[in-house]
A and B are shown apart, each in its own frame.
Chain A
Amino acid sequence: MRQLANGAGFLCAMSLPGALVTFGLVIFALALVLGLGFRVNDQGLLRGPLTLGNFAQILADPLYARVMLRSLWISGLVTLATVVTAYPVAWYLAFRAGKHRGLLLFLVTLPFWTSYLLRVFAWKIILAYNGVLNSAMIELGLWDKPSMMFLNNPAAVVLTLAHAYAPFAILPIYVALQTIPRSLLEAGADLGATKAQLFRRVVLPISMPGVLGGALVVFVPTLGDYVTPAMVGGPASTMIGTLIQAQFGKANDWPFGAALATATMLVILIAVALVRQADRRWGSRT
């Protein structure tokens, strides 16, 4: 039998677009960020002396550790909230939606097709001092003067991000739950397992890859988000993305921004590795 695709010409032609994009854009651009982090500002992108100064400054100034921890804390909360609230929806879709499945799937993914910027902005007009929530409550006579406590705090950032990323976690969990054969649940129930036992011992372990997949697609983008903190967060919720963005804007110190980006990637890789380790010990069984 002939092997599939052993012609060198075919392989080269087919590999070209992917190779260009992955090596030319992904690897090369990331290498540039890494390299620029060791440069001095105002010396050109690839010239000038090498230094560890940027990284030393990140470690020395407690501001950066504080903002990084706050970012981890905020995006961790957002991830937890989205995954926990999405799980029952995915469960319903997989096991109980019946003939409504198509419609419900369409409804939960539709917001994903609408502008992210406007979804965030909607929360700003809800929570603002002279915004929807305050004016509606005064109109209804539930309180008599507008409150400033809703906007410009980390809680507003968590709420807004959890709303903006809500649909992202549903699909991976739904796909994982779908692979569970009904007979497995019935067998468990026949053998006397309670609902809680069935969930903990059968459903959750099998759906764990979906849960972690959903958590990843929420955690990574929210960690680096700078739009939501700027729009609803106020100064007390500056996140690491905001600091990186500022180095390429107002502060105009690209090498320091690149060093911050490198540190952020490192933190993400560590977080992902830790979660994988925990999953291997207590989570999914395949």
Chain B
Amino acid sequence: MKQGRLLPIYIGAYLVFLYLPVALIPLFSFNDSIQAAFPMKGLTLEWYRTLLQTPAIGQALRNSLFIALAAASIATLCATTITYLEVFPRPVLSRLIGVLARLPILIPGVIVGIALLILVNLAGLGPSRIAIVLGHVLVCLPAAVTVLRARFAAIPRSIAEAAADLGASDFTVFRRAVLPLAWSAIGSAFTLSFLTSFDEFIVAYFLAGTEPTLPLYIWSQLRFPKSLPVVMALGALILLVSALLAGLAELLRRRSRV
């Protein structure tokens, strides 16, 4: 089918719209002025120096990494077991659990946040890092379930059935016949959950005790005009690291295809 030039131009404009606002953050992180405005006053690395000298940022980074690792591990474990049972043995209860695991997609973050806040207060736990982990498990679960279910559904049932016929135990069928075919999807689900949790603010806001995550730290600093350049330097570093990680994941994915 013949098509015009309009569509590529539109795609270009769309990408500019997507990237231009984000590009301002690294740009102004080098600006020698507290105001984020043109004309720029001159280049400086001052804000990056201040950033490295702020211990609160290192602590927030450690909290975020701990929470993202824990939440992504739990969400991936749950999603793997839920979707395996849902696709292969298919008992009724597992199908119900599968539906419930996708339910959080219908719940706005603010409601997930308050629901867990009520829950952890009732449990006597109170706002804490563990509370944020629980909240992020709920936020990450629907996407992880969707990714893994698609993968398990693409694995021929006959592979699992052949293994079972040859005398493999239930656990061996799962561990030796099906799981090896799903590792890449498990990796994707984990990465997706990790990044979602690392960036999540709306739920974490309600559940944080005295130990803020990186987004919560950024939020607390956005109120002070004086600390804006440092926040932008931090944002630029986060951008750089996530772009590198995303690029690396993409390269790995392509290599595993070949």
A29 touches B115 (CB 8 A): yes
Binary contact readout A240-275 vs B (1 if CB under 8 angstroms, 0 otherwise): 010011001000001001100100110011001000
> How many whole Å from B233's CB to the nearest CB in chain A?
11
Q: Which of A21, A45, A113 interacts with B242 by CB under 8 Å?
A: A113
Q: Which of chain A's residues have a CB closer than 8 A to the CB of B66?
A: none
Q: Which of A1, A5, A115 interacts with B165 by CB under 8 Å?
A: A1
Q: Which of chain A's residues have a CB closer than 8 A to the CB of B8?
A: 92
Tell me, yes or no, whether B24 is within 8 Å of chain A by CB: yes
Tell me, yes or no, whether B37 is within 8 Å of chain A by CB: yes
How many angstroms from the CA of A110 to the CA of B222 in the assembled complex? 24
Q: Which of B97, B109, B173, B206 interacts with A248 by CB under 8 Å?
A: B206
> How many whole Å from A2's CB to the nearest CB in chain B?
5
Question: Which parts of A3-49 form the interface with B (CB within 8 Å)?
Answer: 3-7, 10-11, 14-19, 21-23, 25-30, 32-33, 36, 45-46
A-B contact count (CB 8 A): 261
Tell me, yes or no, whether B47 is within 8 Å of chain A by CB: no
B173 touches A5 (CB 8 A): yes
A117 touches B141 (CB 8 A): no
Binary contact readout A124-138 vs B (1 if CB under 8 angstroms, 0 otherwise): 011010111011100
Q: Given that A10-B171, A189-B1, A225-B108 are known contacts, is A115 also in contact with B115, CB under 8 Å in the complex? A: no
Q: Which of chain B's residues have a CB closer than 8 A to the CB of A166?
A: 17-18
A85 touches B14 (CB 8 A): yes
How many angstroms from the CA of A118 to the CA of B245 in the assembled complex? 18
Q: Given that A92-B11, A115-B235 are known contacts, is A22 also in contact with B97, CB under 8 Å in the complex? A: yes
Tell me, yes or no, whether A141 is within 8 Å of chain B by CB: no
> How many whole Å from A152's CB to the nearest CB in chain B?
16
How many angstroms from the CA of A139 to the CA of B1 in the assembled complex? 46
A4 touches B164 (CB 8 A): yes
In the complex, besides A19-B93, A117-B222, 7 extra interface pairs with C-beta distance below 8 angstroms are: A7-B169, A14-B85, A91-B7, A106-B247, A110-B243, A118-B218, A132-B37
